[in-house]
């Protein structure tokens, strides 16, 4: 029975991240409760915890008094009883005795072991919650342990359970058991007194931390990310500013031939990332935020936070983007409600979409082949017959048919 209790104490001692004073205090509390149950009080008992060895001693101390003068059996002991322990004792001295764990009885020891195990569990939960509360906004790597319909269960390097909900996954994400994935710690919830660590791959903080890893100038504080807006898996806009005139913030973030941004794009499942220079000039910021479209004119209403933006007909589709993603993100980035107009209102112009916007559905080499023959928008492709496209390009009939179907469906939905 005593060994069982010591084993529980040993488990407690080995629990990671629990500081020694806390550990010793909890063990002391558990055994003082045991003493109160057996003797009615713990006033004359010392619980000495040896954290190094993983064991403990319980010492009882009483004052030796003349026989027949014992008024408080917990604090005093008669002379005849004292000399049974040690013949040299005299009246007025203190008697110190070690209490054997067996004296408590089997049931009490089992109860103490359960209490100790419960306190260990509570402390571990508190340690876990505090650890991850301090890491909110940080990127961590974890292993996929279980994939469910609404969430994924992951394990960190210490075996702690983490949750990646479906709502925090990029739409194109697909993970298998045993795979290592990166995500940002979003929040720590308490559910039934248990900490639940929620991760996210759709949060702007995830993109911010990925940029910090890839771009040393951001990590060093030479470049600051002013704002990030995302449509996860589709498009993101990042506004950056440099505190060093010699550093081009956009060039530093993109890298030589896109070397720095490519890794992030792959991590985010081919999410298009527009990096723009931050400016306090609202008109210029709106112009940059609508990239890749080029603006010809703008009417700004600062009070209503509204802007009318005028563009050439061939730029309108670029400004709006597929499913209106580009203009929506530009609006979020600038804080202005944006309305797009053609600058030649006298002409009747049909809605069109730039071919680049279909890069996630149509392979790059197919788009390049269409551009080679002068088709750079959806309508310019659909204006040619399938036979003409087959004759002018190196594309097969099935590929042309599929491309036309995708483009037609997008124009109809718009």
* pLDDT on residue 158: 83
Strands, sheet with 235-242, edge to edge from the N-terminal-most edge strand: 223-231, 235-242, 272-277
> Which residue ranges form the domains of the chain, and what is each CATH number?
2-131 (3.30.1480.10), 142-202 (2.40.50.140), 355-413 (1.10.150)
Give the span between the Cα atoms of 381 and 371, in whole angstroms.
Answer: 9
* pLDDT on residue 32: 81
> pLDDT per residue over 115-127, tens digit each?
777 777 777 788 7
> pLDDT per residue over 135-152, tens digit each?
999 999 999 999 999 999
Give the span between the Cα atoms of 123 and 127, in whole angstroms.
Answer: 6
With 0-12 / 13-18 / 19 or more C-beta atoms within 10 angstroms meaning exposed / middle / buried, residue 346 is exposed
Work out whether strand 45-50 and strand 55-65 pair parallel, antiparallel, or are unpaired: antiparallel
Kindly report the pTM of this predicted structure: 0.63
Dihedral of alpha carbons 229, 230, 235, 238, sign: positive
User: pLDDT tens string for the chain (414 positions)?
Assistant: 444 555 555 555 555 556 667 777 777 787 788 788 777 777 878 777 765 555 677 887 888 788 777 777 777 878 777 787 777 777 778 888 777 777 777 777 777 777 777 777 777 788 788 889 889 999 999 999 999 999 999 999 888 899 999 999 999 999 999 999 999 999 999 888 788 999 999 999 999 999 999 999 999 999 999 999 999 999 999 999 998 888 999 999 998 888 899 999 999 999 999 999 999 999 999 999 998 888 888 899 889 999 999 988 888 888 888 888 999 999 999 999 999 888 765 444 567 788 888 888 888 888 888 888 778 888 888 888 888 888 888 888 899 999 999 988 888 876
Count other Cβ atoms within 10 Å, centred on residue 3: 9
Using omega within 30 degrees of 0 as the cis cutoff, is the peptide bond preceding 292 cis? yes
Q: Buried b / exposed e across 151-171, counting CB within 10 Å, b at 16+? A: bbbbebeeebbbbbeeebbbe
* pLDDT on residue 225: 95
Give the span between the Cα atoms of 213 and 197, in whole angstroms.
Answer: 23
C-beta separation of 131 from 149 below 8 A = no
């Amino acid at each position: 029975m005593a060994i069982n209790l010591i084993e529980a104490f040993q488990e407690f001692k080995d629990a990671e991240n629990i500081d020694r004073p806390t550990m010793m205090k909890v063990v002391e509390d558990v055994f003082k409760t045991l003493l109160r149950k057996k003797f009615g009080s713990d006033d004359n008992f010392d619980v000495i915890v040896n954290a190094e060895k993983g064991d403990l001693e319980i010492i009882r101390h009483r004052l030796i008094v003349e026989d027949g003068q014992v008024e408080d059996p917990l604090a005093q002991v008669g002379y005849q009883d004292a000399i049974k322990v040690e013949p040299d004792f005299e009246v007025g001295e203190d008697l110190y005795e070690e209490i054997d764990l067996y004296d408590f009885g089997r049931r009490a020891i089992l109860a103490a072991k359960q209490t100790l195990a419960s306190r260990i569990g509570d402390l571990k939960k508190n340690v876990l919650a505090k650890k991850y509360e301090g890491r909110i906004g940080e990127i961590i790597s974890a292993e996929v342990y279980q994939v469910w319909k609404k969430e994924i269960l992951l394990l960190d390097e210490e075996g702690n359970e983490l949750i990646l909900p479906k709502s925090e996954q990029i739409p194109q994400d697909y993970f298998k058991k045993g795979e290592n994935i990166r995500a940002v710690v979003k929040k720590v919830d308490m559910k039934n007194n248990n900490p639940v660590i929620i991760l996210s791959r759709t949060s702007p903080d995830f993109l911010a931390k990925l940029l910090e890893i890839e771009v040393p100038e951001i990590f060093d504080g030479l470049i600051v990310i002013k704002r990030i807006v995302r449509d996860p898996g589709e498009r993101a806009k990042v506004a950056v500013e440099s505190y060093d005139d010699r550093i081009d913030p956009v060039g530093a973030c993109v890298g030589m031939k896109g070397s720095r941004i490519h890794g992030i794009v792959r991590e985010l499942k081919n999410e298009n990332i527009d990096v723009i220079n931050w400016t306090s000039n609202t008109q210029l910021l709106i112009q940059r935020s609508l990239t890749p479209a080029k603006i010809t004119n703008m009417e700004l209403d600062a009070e209503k936070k509204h802007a009318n933006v005028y563009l050439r007909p061939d730029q309108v589709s670029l400004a709006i983007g597929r499913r209106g993603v580009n203009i929506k993100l530009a609006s979020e980035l600038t804080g202005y409600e944006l309305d797009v107009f053609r600058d030649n209102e006298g002409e009747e112009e049909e809605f069109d979409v730039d071919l680049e916007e279909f890069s996630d559905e149509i392979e790059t080499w197919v788009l390049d082949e269409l551009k080679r023959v002068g088709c750079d928008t959806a309508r310019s492709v659909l204006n040619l017959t399938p036979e003409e496209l087959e004759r002018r390009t190196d594309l097969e009939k099935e590929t042309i048919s599929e491309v036309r179907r995708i483009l037609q469906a997008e124009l109809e939905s718009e």
